[in-house]
Chains A and B, each alone.
Chain A
Amino acid sequence: MTETTLTSEAALKRLKKRRGKEWRFRLWGRASIAFALAALAWLLFSIVGTGYTAFQQHFMRMDFQLTESVLAPDGTRDPEILRGANYRKIVQTTLYEQFPEVTGRKDKQELFALVSASGATNYLRQLVYKNPDLIGKTVTVTVPASDQIDQLLKGYIKRDTPESRRKVSNQQIVWADILKERGVIKKKFNRILFMNPDSRDPELAGIAGAAVGSLMILVVAFVLAFPIGVGSAIYLDEFAPKNKFTDFIEININNLAAVPSIVFGLLGLAVFLNFMGMPRSLPIVGGMVLALRVFPTITIATRSAMQGVSPSIVDGALSLGASHTQAVFQQKLPLAAPGILTGSIIGMAQALGETAPLLMIGMVAFVTEVPNSITEPATALPVQIFLWSDSAERAWAERTSAAIIVLLVVLITMNGFAIWLRNRLETRR
């Protein structure tokens, strides 16, 4: 073989260099993907790692003696008196009975701090309020332990830190261990997290109120955004004349999809709250704001779904004598429906994750009840996460992460369903 310019030493060297460059370029690509996936993994692990323990919580199962002389000294069963009765004393007595040797005032206070004070008293109060006949009897009920004890027994409050630097005293650790050995303190599934609304005490706070609020907001947003999104898409694609105004609408919709969400919050604040005088913090206002936020997404998805339908179908309908409207609504739209559905699910997932616009319309209120209607103050799941994340205590971080896990599971389910739907349709077409 004769030496040509392509096999000369210089050329071979150059080739090697070029192949090296190729290899490095490919490596950069892989590294970028690895970076993104690592970031995702870190995010998920850090949140799941902090949050999964919150799905279980420590409860205390004790026999509470509902002494009549404490709760209703004058023998009445008047609901007002029963409501204001001294349940704290009952809880204290019960707890002190576990450790008869504790006598000092300060020691007793420390012992009482083992149980969730407002959790236990509220539970007993509701029990007696619903069924006054229980007075004078002994009931065996399960009440939440305090958040400090919960964190201690989960191992987050380290026992080897000096006593002065942790929130649980040595004595309390001993008591908690004894109670656990006796089977009084038990770790159980955390019903509170799912059933309770927000609370000042981490051990009593749950996401029920926020979840219901989010659901209401989503329903309002969907009812408004779906017709607007689909309707404007049908108009722009099928009926609009080609003129400046149509172009203007089109630019508007594309731009609205990219406007920062907080601007929609400002719009809601200025128009719905200040101008129309609606109250703050209502799911209906939140739903309206988020409907404006997500309808462009639905419009864009609908348009691309409709453009994917083969024109021969509409032509066929027209040639059989259908009117234009009939061809669009009876032939084209059903075929585009799965794509529209996918876009709507993605839009709703977007709405479920939005926080900033809701902050603007005052959905940061501390709401301790599960809302009953869309015109009652409520909060939303992401806003609840934001509010909880503000508290520095370990118990709150755990609960915030648990709420995030719930939110992410819902979102991933929604998005996954949308992606699955899209893939299924892509392969079929």
Chain B
Amino acid sequence: MSQVSIYMMLLIAVLTVSGYVYNRSSALTKFKQARAAAGGKLVMSAWHSQASYHGYFTAWIVALSTFAVFIIGLFIGGSGTGFNALWLGAIIITALAVIIFTGRQVSGKFRARTYVERFIKGLLIGLSVIAVLTTLGIIASLLFESLRFFKEVPFMDFLFGLQWSPQTAMRADQVGQSGSFGAIPVFAGTFLIMLVAMTIAGPIGLMIAIYLTEYASSGVRKWVKPAIEILAGVPTVVYGFFALLTFAPFVRGFAESLGFSVPTQSALAAGVVMGVMIIPFVSSLSSDVINAVPQTLRDGSAALGATKSETMKQVVFTAALPGIIGAFMLAISRAIGETMIVYMAAGKAANLTGNPFEAVTTVTVQIVALLTGDSDFDSPKTLVAFALGLVLFVITLLLNVVALTVVRRYRAKY
């Protein structure tokens, strides 16, 4: 963006504000005149809109029309002093014309407020539609690039192939050998790391939620809850660095002391660190769910002589189960989509293994590895990243939608 356009935008802002000020004051003047003519008896409510709405009305139109002129200028894309002067002149003239024209409209009958409110509503609808456009944009871009990939590599070979070595396909001299894009090892690695992470985060997050909602005194809760929330606020790249620098060597040393030989990058190291990252996610979602269980159920159970833990395990947990499953699904979706920890700590080599002590790779790692650096956008090597992205998006979408529906239905139940 050039310096000129920044100044132009500032000018548009100034013109908009001055349009507001000018028309508001002209509305006030006309009102005073009308009051004087009526012998001082007229009150403001005899006018349809307050003076400021006349100002807002002008401001909106000035902003819209000058911005349109600005955009037209951008599209014509001229340069030089002459063009800029013309552009500037066009903007100022438009603004002045609009201010004078709308200024004439000001009267008691003019429904400025109605127009302004209609405009605000239109703007709000436009802003909400951006959410839909984002989703559509994601789907369209992933689908479009993936289809280009599936033209070269059959869909079934991608989804069910057992051999993953996309890098080899890059060399031009490998005529006839197209590299292999069987994504099963990548999916298996993602699943393995997710499993390790959920083994840590699931029970621990749930127990924290139970303890904090049912047992802890408010003093303990006041300190422990924010401390655990800090874990959620730590950026994933920091977890990745911790896994790389501290935790992976620790796991390796520990395993070696037991007589195993373990690579520094392992599914276990990445999974455990990711589990720690997800703990606050699980615990805060589950405590919402547990809090939503009506107190009467707890009281009833206690009245029958159950201990607190029996109430928790047999009454509250059962009642909250759908919500807890929803929380776990959201956590799983989080674990699958996590990138930096696995990129830094899990490795890039595709291994089809169920052994958490080995290095595995994940969908997100492969996307980053395939797309960073100079990439040529027509080779299957880069397009496959979008196919992986599509799989990732579809799976997380399903998990999210199902989980959100379950949680909502569960909330409606109580």
- For B368, the chain A residues whose CB sits under 8 A away are 262, 356, 359-360
Residue B71 is within 8 A (CB to CB) of chain A in the complex:
no
Is there contact, CB below 8 Å, between A397 and B127?
no
Taking a contact as CB atoms closer than 8 A, the residue among B117, B308, B338 that contacts A22 in the complex is B308
Assembled-state Cα–Cα distance A40/B283 (Å):
15
Taking a contact as CB atoms closer than 8 A, the residue among A31, A256, A374, A386 that contacts B240 in the complex is A386
B3 nearest CB neighbor, chain A only: A373
Residue A37 is within 8 A (CB to CB) of chain B in the complex:
yes
- For B135, the chain A residues whose CB sits under 8 A away are 252, 255-256
- For B337, the chain A residues whose CB sits under 8 A away are 259-263
* Among listed B19-27, B75-83, B222-230, B254-262, interface-contacting one: B222-230
- For B239, the chain A residues whose CB sits under 8 A away are 43
Residue B60 is within 8 A (CB to CB) of chain A in the complex:
no
- For A30, the chain B residues whose CB sits under 8 A away are 211
Residue A228 is within 8 A (CB to CB) of chain B in the complex:
yes
Q: How far is the CB of A152 from chain B (nearest CB, A)?
A: 21
Residue B134 is within 8 A (CB to CB) of chain A in the complex:
yes
Is there contact, CB below 8 Å, between B400 and A259?
yes
Q: 1/0 per position for B378-414, CB-CB distance to A under 8 A? A: 0000000110010011001100110010000000000
Is there contact, CB below 8 Å, between B117 and A354?
no
Central interface residue in A264, A356, A415, A416, by most chain B CB within 10 Å: A356
Which secondary structure dominates where chain B touches chain A? helix
* Among listed A115-123, A201-209, A268-276, A310-318, interface-contacting one: A268-276
- For A382, the chain B residues whose CB sits under 8 A away are 235, 237
Jot down 5 A-B pairs with beta carbons below 8 A, ordered by A: A22-B307, A43-B234, A251-B404, A323-B117, A397-B245
Residue A189 is within 8 A (CB to CB) of chain B in the complex:
no
- For B194, the chain A residues whose CB sits under 8 A away are none
Interface residues of B, count at CB 8 A = 89
- For B124, the chain A residues whose CB sits under 8 A away are 231-232, 234-235, 239
B1 nearest CB neighbor, chain A only: A375
Is there contact, CB below 8 Å, between A270 and B141?
yes
Q: 1/0 per position for B117-130, CB-CB distance to A under 8 A? A: 10011011111111
Is there contact, CB below 8 Å, between B238 and A263?
no
B310 nearest CB neighbor, chain A only: A18
A240 nearest CB neighbor, chain B only: B128
A-B contacts at CB below 8 angstroms, number: 259
Residue A411 is within 8 A (CB to CB) of chain B in the complex:
yes
Q: How far is the CB of A159 from chain B (nearest CB, A)?
A: 23
- For B204, the chain A residues whose CB sits under 8 A away are 32, 35-36
Q: How far is the CB of B309 from chain A (nearest CB, A)?
A: 4
Residue B353 is within 8 A (CB to CB) of chain A in the complex:
no
Q: How far is the CB of B393 from chain A (nearest CB, A)?
A: 5
Q: 1/0 per position for A210-227, CB-CB distance to B under 8 A? A: 000000000000000001
Is there contact, CB below 8 Å, between A270 and B238?
no
Is there contact, CB below 8 Å, between A254 and B371?
no
Residue A28 is within 8 A (CB to CB) of chain B in the complex:
yes
B336 nearest CB neighbor, chain A only: A260
Is there contact, CB below 8 Å, between B242 and A47?
yes
Assembled-state Cα–Cα distance A389/B329 (Å):
32
- For A355, the chain B residues whose CB sits under 8 A away are 235-237, 339-340
In B296-351, the 8 Å CB interface with A consists of 307-310, 312-313, 330, 333-334, 336-340, 343-344
Is there contact, CB below 8 Å, between B130 and A228?
yes
- For B385, the chain A residues whose CB sits under 8 A away are 266
Residue A132 is within 8 A (CB to CB) of chain B in the complex:
no
Is there contact, CB below 8 Å, between A270 and B145?
yes
Taking a contact as CB atoms closer than 8 A, the residue among B208, B389, B401 that contacts A262 in the complex is B389
Taking a contact as CB atoms closer than 8 A, the residue among B231, B241, B397 that contacts A259 in the complex is B397
Q: How far is the CB of A174 from chain B (nearest CB, A)?
A: 32
